[in-house]
Amino acid sequence: MALRVLIADDHDMVRDTFTMFLETSGTAQTVPAGTLDEALDVMRQKGPFDLVLLDYTMPGMKGLEGLKAALEISGGNPVGIVSGTGTRLIAQQALDMGAAGFLPKSMPAKTLVNAVRFMAMGEVYAPVDFMSGKDAPDETDFERDLSDREKQVLRGLMAAKSNKEIALELDLQEVTIKLHVKTLCRKIDAKNRTDAAMMARDAGFV
């Protein structure tokens, strides 16, 4: 009997590709969702599913908070993370929180189908090459242009700290922090510090 799988991703092409792989192989009947809120609604109304796959960076996810919310209403059924930009650290955190697996979007069709069957059986799936670092980036595209100091300041913004608090924490002058905030906002194209924190969260920056 085919599995019931919820595929939540804000890119139609990704959803359609996954659906095609899973349905043409006879592995699963799929139900789509485009945001975390939509996915949670579908889980409540049409669940439980044999497996729920959540895109790590779709609207509403806020990093791994979305995974936590889905696990709470999945009825103990497996929830996996799908990502095109996630790092090894994010993958490990997801698994530590109880994710059934971590699927890079670059996976070949056959591997994806096998991974879905594996997770639906209650096993945990994580690609060995990815987890060992061979295929995994150590940083997301989002943070690649930021200096180490800018990343530290950005973590402070994500924790809703003031420039003064960040300055004390990093043993720097408040004016220096102000400058770093300005520079990092320009680099990531953020309107202000709040926007920067939200963008960082959505991009999976930790």
What CATH number does residue 34 fall under?
A: 3.40.50.2300
Domain harbouring 188, CATH code: 1.10.10.10
How many other C-beta atoms can be found within 10 angstroms of the C-beta atom of residue 88? 18
- Say which amino acid occupies 136: A
pLDDT at residue 136 in the model: 46
Q: Which residues contact 174 (CB under 8 A, 6 or more apart)?
A: 163, 164, 167
Residue 60 inside a domain? The answer is yes
Quote the strand ranges of the chain, DSSP E.
3-8, 28-33, 51-55, 79-83, 101-104
pLDDT tens-digit series, residues 166-177: 999 999 899 999
Indicate the pTM of the whole model: 0.66
In 3-state terms, what secondary structure has residue 5?
Answer: strand
pLDDT digits (tens, 9 = 90+) for 123-138: 999 877 666 655 445 5
pLDDT of residue 109: 82
Assess whether 155 and 125 both reside in one domain: no
Q: Output Rg (C-alpha) for the chain, integer angstroms.
A: 19
Domain span holding position 147:
141-202
pLDDT at 105: 82
Q: Are residues 79 and 147 in the same domain?
A: no
Residue with token string 């698994």: 95
Residues 79 and 168 placed together within one structural domain of the fold? no
What are the pLDDT digits (tens) for 106-164? 788 888 899 999 999 999 998 776 666 554 455 555 677 788 889 899 989 988 899 99
- Final residue belonging to a domain, choices 131, 165, 190: 131
**pLDDT over 70, % of the chain:** 91
Are residues 7 and 91 located together in one domain of the fold? yes
What is residue 173's three-state secondary structure? coil
Number of domains in the chain: 2
First and final C-alpha spacing in the chain: 40
